[in-house]
Chains A and B, each alone.
Chain A
Amino acid sequence: MESDLSPQDKKDLDKFIKFFALKTVQVIVQARLGEKICTRSSSSPTGSDWFNLAIKDIPEVTHEAKKALAGQLPGIGRSMCVEISLKTSEGDSMELETWCLEMNEKCDKDIKVSYTVYNRLSLLLKSLLAITRVTPAYKLSRKQGHDYVILYRIYFGEVQLAGLGEGFQTVRVGIVGTPTGTITLSCAYRTNLAFMSTRSPGEEEGGAFAGVEDSQEVCTTSFSTSPPSQMVAPGKEGGVPQVPMQPCHGAQADHGHVSSCPTGDATHHIPATPPSSGEDAEALSRSSEVKSTSPSDPLDATFTRKVGAFVNKPTTQVTTAGLDLPFAAFAPRAYELEENDPMVHPPDSPATSSPLQGSLHSQASSDNGGQTQEDFVMVDFKPAFSKDDLLPMDLGTFYREFQNPPQLASLSIDVSTQSMAEDLDSLPEKLAIYEKNIDEFDAFVDTLQ
């Protein structure tokens, strides 16, 4: 058996590996754009669809990939990596996953290059398509936009996994043996999604874990995968402008709303139900602290406006209820204060339904100034059939907000204070008033005819 490849085969193999690397990058980046991908099948071959798969080529991405490869090919010791990271509008960033295209020395001399290797590379790309929708970063990338964006960085050389935090997981997408080595494609993804940032509102970002400094530098070559309307052209630091935080429902929501208990908060304060997300648990524990420690800062009550707990002035708010926000814990949190409203100050919650709730409770009581958060992973409420758009009021929000409507004013009057006798006494007065206005009533009735 010949141990050397024929020149034609070698040329073909190099070409396959090069285009495979470029297509791999396209698939990964496109899967993190935040949109659903759809390409058409075509029964007549066009000759330009590598690996018989319809994968669009985004020019900027190809450019970046070629720049990183700099004319080389992935080889033994020279891996091509695509790093996906998240950057919040406040400037915190975190590496989410690193996809690695590597080559090892194990050769398969007998394999046919133009046929078997090509088909297996095609299969590997299909597997990549499937796996990119399964890792945790996919869901995060679908929800990017308002508060965070997903960035990518391509590099060539040694694989760097340090920025993924402790306990990162690896999933192998697949391997393809070739006469010059075995191509492996895998993904290492972060599992610890907690931000260690201890920012309080107004403070500069700091206290982030060690990786941030490095990745800030690294990110200068990153490019956003967000829709262009929100992003600045690459070249800026991180490519991300500071997106001002806004209340989800807009300033217009300020006016003209009934100043009763904010139903949004009420939904978080249902004591009997175990919190379905860390956000709820924290809201629950904080509510009982709000009474004693927060300054009374009444606002025109809307169900969206909230005052920052533990701060003296209202800061720009993000209504966490209104957003599918994965790191809601470190968004400044605020509560409407209605001193006597039973909905806002529910009776003490029953025995801790989760250890998370308990620990947050103790932390909130001891820590008056900062907003240090426990680690948690937010679990979103996403009702069936609802579209997760940019609309401030989606079905999920609506459901949460209106799950517990406020009590009707007429029903909240304490019944025992008004006896039947008093009711009857007030009747003659009322009748007198109605008789006086009898003309008005008649005119009204006429308009209905």
Chain B
Amino acid sequence: MNCRSEVLEVSVEGRQVDEAMLALLHTILLHRSTGKFHYKKEGTYSIGTVGTQDIDCDFIDFTFVRVSSDELDRVIRKAVAEFKDALNITGSDGMGQISLEFYQKKKSRWPFSDECIPWEVWTIKVNVVNLANEQERQICREKVGEKLGEKVINVVEVINRHEYLPKMPTQSEVDNVFDTSLKDVQPYLYKITYQITDSLGTSVSTTMRRLIKDTLAL
């Protein structure tokens, strides 16, 4: 099975990084979350209800929709804050990317650990620009708002191709497909990673380190 990979690129000002990332990540997660499953004795299940919330951005002329789950929002905000801090640390170049990967777990026999097989990866490439005055910032607010709108349309386009989605799992398999740790919604299993490009253009790759770690873990 091939993993679908999509890349979105945005150029934002420093203050806008958080909101731009939240907007895009939440838009994707809105489409990749369902209500909580409740399995019944006969092997059927019912699905809970997902609420939605409009979120206005303070630094961008944009409003996005996310699932109504404070828990999920906290997790995403934490990841975005780490990414932003990492961006700030490395020089003033301000380029990096954050990846949202949906995966399935495949149980392996002992002594091998479970495999994580990604089936969809969204990569958001960020370029942070510095602006000189309030006038430019005002224009940037609007431009970034429009750009985010285009990205949302891109996301929706990809999702509506209805390509591979994991099969709905049985009760015993549900944790291999969905993240069941949240109280109110159930997103597909996901992980968020990020990479910062330093000023020399070489990527300080956390992914590389993870690969090595995974290989050693086997």
B4 at the binding interface (Cβ < 8 Å): no
Q: How far is the CB of A37 from chain B (nearest CB, A)?
A: 5
Q: Among the listed stretches A6-14, A48-56, A76-84, A247-255, which one makes contact with chain B, having 4 or more residues with CB under 8 Å of it?
A: A48-56
B53 at the binding interface (Cβ < 8 Å): yes
B195 at the binding interface (Cβ < 8 Å): no
Name the residue of chain B whose CB is nearest to the CB of A273: B135
Name the residue of chain A whose CB is nearest to the CB of B30: A126
B61 at the binding interface (Cβ < 8 Å): yes
Name the residue of chain A whose CB is nearest to the CB of B168: A115
Binding site secondary structure of chain B: mixed
Q: Among the listed stretches B41-49, B86-94, B197-205, which one makes contact with chain A, having 4 or more residues with CB under 8 Å of it?
A: B41-49
Q: How far is the CB of A174 from chain B (nearest CB, A)?
A: 4
Q: Are A45 and B152 in contact (CB under 8 A)?
A: no
Q: Are B56 and A36 in contact (CB under 8 A)?
A: yes
A232 at the binding interface (Cβ < 8 Å): no
Q: Are B159 and A123 in contact (CB under 8 A)?
A: yes
Q: Are A38 and B160 in contact (CB under 8 A)?
A: no
**With A45-B48, A173-B156, A381-B138: A133-B65 Cβ-Cβ less than 8 Å:** yes
Q: Mark B134-150, 1 if CB is under 8 A from A, else 0.
A: 01001101100000010
* Alpha-carbon distance between A43 and B152 when the two chains are bound, in angstroms: 27
Name the residue of chain A whose CB is nearest to the CB of B34: A52
Q: Are B51 and A38 in contact (CB under 8 A)?
A: yes
Q: How far is the CB of B179 from chain A (nearest CB, A)?
A: 14
* Alpha-carbon distance between A274 and B138 when the two chains are bound, in angstroms: 12
Q: How far is the CB of B13 from chain A (nearest CB, A)?
A: 11
Q: Mark A20-49, 1 if CB is under 8 A from B, else 0.
A: 000000000000000011111111111001
Q: Are A43 and B183 in contact (CB under 8 A)?
A: yes
- B49, B135, B138, B156: the one contacting A41 at CB < 8 Å is B49
**What is the number of residues of chain B that contact chain A, defined by CB distance less than 8 Å?**
45
Contacts of A299 in B (CB 8 A): none
- A37, A130, A273, A380: the one contacting B152 at CB < 8 Å is A130
Contacts of B63 in A (CB 8 A): 36, 133, 138, 142
- B30, B53, B64, B135: the one contacting A37 at CB < 8 Å is B53
Q: Are B185 and A130 in contact (CB under 8 A)?
A: no
**With A131-B153, A174-B160: A276-B49 Cβ-Cβ less than 8 Å:** no
Name the residue of chain B whose CB is nearest to the CB of A174: B160
Q: Are A41 and B184 in contact (CB under 8 A)?
A: yes
Q: Mark A112-131, 1 if CB is under 8 A from B, else 0.
A: 00010000100110110111
Q: Are A120 and B162 in contact (CB under 8 A)?
A: yes
Contacts of B138 in A (CB 8 A): 276, 381
- A37, A54, A139, A276: the one contacting B54 at CB < 8 Å is A37
Q: A127-B159, A131-B152 are in contact. List 8 more A-B contacts (CB 8 A).
A: A37-B52, A42-B184, A44-B38, A45-B47, A52-B34, A133-B64, A134-B149, A172-B157
Question: Which A residues contact B (CB, under 8 angstroms)?
Answer: 36-46, 49, 52-54, 115, 120, 123-124, 126-127, 129-131, 133-135, 138-139, 142, 171-176, 273-274, 276, 379-382, 384-385
User: Could you name 20 residue pairs across A and B whose Cβ atoms are closer than 8 Å?
Assistant: A38-B52, A38-B54, A41-B49, A41-B50, A41-B184, A41-B185, A43-B183, A45-B38, A45-B47, A45-B48, A45-B49, A127-B160, A130-B156, A131-B153, A131-B156, A135-B149, A138-B63, A173-B160, A174-B156, A274-B135
Question: Which B residues contact A (CB, under 8 angstroms)?
Answer: 15, 27, 30-31, 34-36, 38, 46-54, 56, 58-59, 61, 63-65, 67-69, 135, 138-139, 141-142, 149, 152-153, 155-157, 159-160, 162, 168, 183-185
Top-3 shortest CB links A-B? A174-B160, A39-B51, A54-B51
